[in-house]
Amino acid sequence: MKAKINQVFEEMGKVVIGQERLINRLLIGLFTGGHVLLEGVPGLAKTLTINTLAKILDLNFHRIQFTPDLLPADLVGTMIYNQKSNDFEVKKGPIFANLILADEVNRAPAKVQSALLEAMQEKQVTIGDNTFPIDRPFLVLATQNPVEQEGTFPLPEAQVDRFMLKVHVDYLNKEQELEVMRKMSNMDFNYKPKPILNKDDISEIKGEINKIAISETLERYIIELIFATRKPSDYGLKEEARYIQFGASPRASINLNLSAKVLAYLDDRDYVLPEDIKEIAPDVLNHRMMLNYEAEADGITTMQVIDTILRKVAIGR
């Protein structure tokens, strides 16, 4: 399986330049069944990366453009009257796919967010009086623009918490952007990635990840990190205690454990290192912690608080 995963990175690299970390996080979501929220300004290849990954996976894929006038029925489906049978029948919506690209997810109103939330959490959809399971694997990859707020609806905390990871997508460096410019300036460039992984492959990879070992010391380290977001004063983080309004939920510890195992697997190890936990912790925690107005006034960001927690909470405390 490791050879196939290497092929995925190679095939992605033929289309997407300089986003290895983003691809890594998308694979973590894929192999654990955890949804991923991507945040970054337009033009950073968020949608292109997801579209390319969808072509490499032999899975059913739908792209949904979220807009303020979107209705829940546009997402999950509706009941349609059939004149021939003189009865109502179900017309399923685009949410019935293995891989969903929810583009600009924060542009949809609350009712649509609620419908998406049921699908993300319960892996099922209710249409009329009937409930329909969604085929596995089921993965929502959502994007949002952090800058433009006009015509957007803030995602409810309950929904944000359902995302396993929130990944901040940043600008490329100069050499990477030069390579992108040269490649995309070629109007004949139309590379079509070949399918590499199918459902059976993903199921087999999940089984291998389940065998990744994590010591009790590191399990307790994860718990200490999560509790440091809730009761920072107990960990000598008095300055940070002034800024944290809510700490991370129990889903954070579960997802931090799972993500660290996938990082170890992708690094061709059968055991988790402390570095795995520290590397993935910001992506697991940054959307699960809420800072207060005092933090905003002092220019303190969630990432800064997480960085301090990672530096000050010791392993084997």
Strands 77-82 and 87-92: antiparallel
Q: Please, which residues have CB within 8 angstroms of residue 300's CB and are 6 or more apart in sequence?
A: 243, 291
Q: Are 153 and 110 in contact (CB under 8 A)?
A: yes
Beta-bridge mates of residue 140: 100
Low-confidence ranges of the chain (pLDDT < 70): 147-152, 317
Q: Are 306 and 285 in contact (CB under 8 A)?
A: yes
Measure Cα distances from 88 to 83, 126, 187 in Å.
9, 15, 48
Q: Which pLDDT belongs to residue 150?
A: 60
Look up the domain containing 84 and give its range: 2-201
Q: Which pLDDT belongs to residue 25?
A: 94
Based on the structure, what is the number of domains in the chain?
A: 2
Q: Which pLDDT belongs to residue 217?
A: 95
Q: Tell which of 148, 166, 201 closes a domain.
A: 201
Q: Which of 22, 56, 289, 207 is nearest to 308 (CA)?
A: 289
Q: Tell which of 177, 201, 225 closes a domain.
A: 201
In a domain, 252, yes or no: yes
- Main-chain phi, psi angles of 48, to 5 degrees: -60, -40
- How does 59-70 read in b/e, with b if 16+ C-beta sit within 10 Å? bebebbebeeeb
In a domain, 317, yes or no: no
Clarify whether residues 43 and 159 are in a common domain.
Answer: yes
Q: Are 292 and 233 in contact (CB under 8 A)?
A: no
Q: Please, which residues have CB within 8 angstroms of residue 127's CB and are 6 or more apart in sequence?
A: 76, 77, 78, 79, 90, 92
Q: Tell which of 183, 201, 219 closes a domain.
A: 201
Judged by phi (left if over 0) then psi (alpha if -120 to 50, else beta), residue 179 lies in: alpha
Q: How far apart are CA 70 and CA 77, in angstroms?
A: 12
Q: Give the number of other Cβ atoms within 10 Å of residue 201's Cβ.
A: 15
Domain of residue 57, CATH code: 3.40.50.300
